[in-house]
Amino acid sequence: MSAAPTDLTGKTCIVTGANGGIGIAIAEHYAQLGARVLTTDVGESFAGACPAEHRAFDLLSSEGLQDCRDWIDAAQPDVFVNNAALFDMGNVLQADLSQYDRLFGLNVRAMYALMQAAAASMVAAGKSGSIINMASQAAHRGEALVAHYCATKAAVISYTQSAALALAPHKIRVNAISPGVIDTPMWATVDGLFAKFEGKAPGQKKREVGEAVPLGYMGHPRDVARVAVFLACAQSDYVTAQTLSVDGGNVLR
């Protein structure tokens, strides 16, 4: 018996939040495996090294979100990666409702709306596609300074499970990836926020979290992209409603 292929030739794959470190890595891995790659972010061009059909959308605006939904419907994806997200910090006394609105607006509301659009397109086209939602190790436990973000990522996992059960009769698989501390450009912002709220020196928090990982170092975007390849291809045909952790052993479930 031969192994299931990882080839994505002939597949249309959409990646949102495509200009972040993880988004770029996923798009590049899909392109290397033969996929037609479509990307979106707030920026007007795609920053990766692979060919991609790119569109810019502001997913926090109702008009931008609807335009993106229409774009997804027209593209008829086989694989949809829901990667766009925002991060911010503030303790319970400081994390105000404007921060709540922004994080829940993108990480939950837009995530759900785009997942819904991708699913509807797959059903209409009769495709047994794969939807991959990006969660986080923050979804599995609260953190004093990251309450809103943790809650949004917990919601991603819950919606992933519900959508997977609803779409199983259509043979559409819905799974989530839960990255741990991944060495992306965003970590400069995260490190700066921890320096502000915890009084740490620049670079200190990043070094500490890497050393605290059981494997002893921060992950690379390619580590997440490899799992996104698994969930996109035939090797995961019998996997749905799951959250796969890519965190070096940080979260034990």
> Domains along the chain?
12-182+220-246 (3.40.50.720), 185-218 (no CATH)
Mapped onto helix, strand or coil, the DSSP state of residue 7 is coil
Q: Taking a C-beta distance cutoff of 8 angstroms, is the pair 138, 149 a contact?
A: yes
- Inter-residue contact 11 to 24 (CB < 8 Å): no
> What is the rounded average pLDDT of the residues 223-229?
98
Rounded Cα–Cα distance for residues 65 and 61 (Å): 6
d(CA 131, CA 203) in angstroms, rounded, equals 35
Which ranges in 132-252 belong to alpha helices (H)? 147-167, 186-198, 204-212, 221-232
Q: What sections of 76-146 are H helices per DSSP?
A: 97-104, 111-125
Cα 203 to Cα 186: distance, rounded to the nearest angstrom: 13
pLDDT at 160 over 90: yes
Q: Which of 8-22, 38-52, 195-209 has the lowest mean pLDDT?
A: 195-209
Q: How far apart are CA 221 and CA 50, in angstroms?
A: 15
Question: Is there a contact between 41 and 23 (Cβ–Cβ < 8 Å)?
Answer: yes
122 contacts: CB under 8 Å, gap ≥ 6: 76, 77, 78, 128, 129, 131, 170, 172
pLDDT at residue 1 tops 70: no
Q: What is the mean pLDDT of residues 133-158?
A: 96
> Which positions are catalytic?
149
d(CA 46, CA 52): 7
Q: How confident is the model at residue 86 (pLDDT cuts 50, 70, 90)?
A: very high
Q: Quick one: which of 131, 145, 150, 106 has its CA closest to 243?
A: 131
The count of other CB atoms within 10 Å of the CB of residue 221 is 21
Residue type, 2: S
The average confidence (pLDDT) of the chain is 96
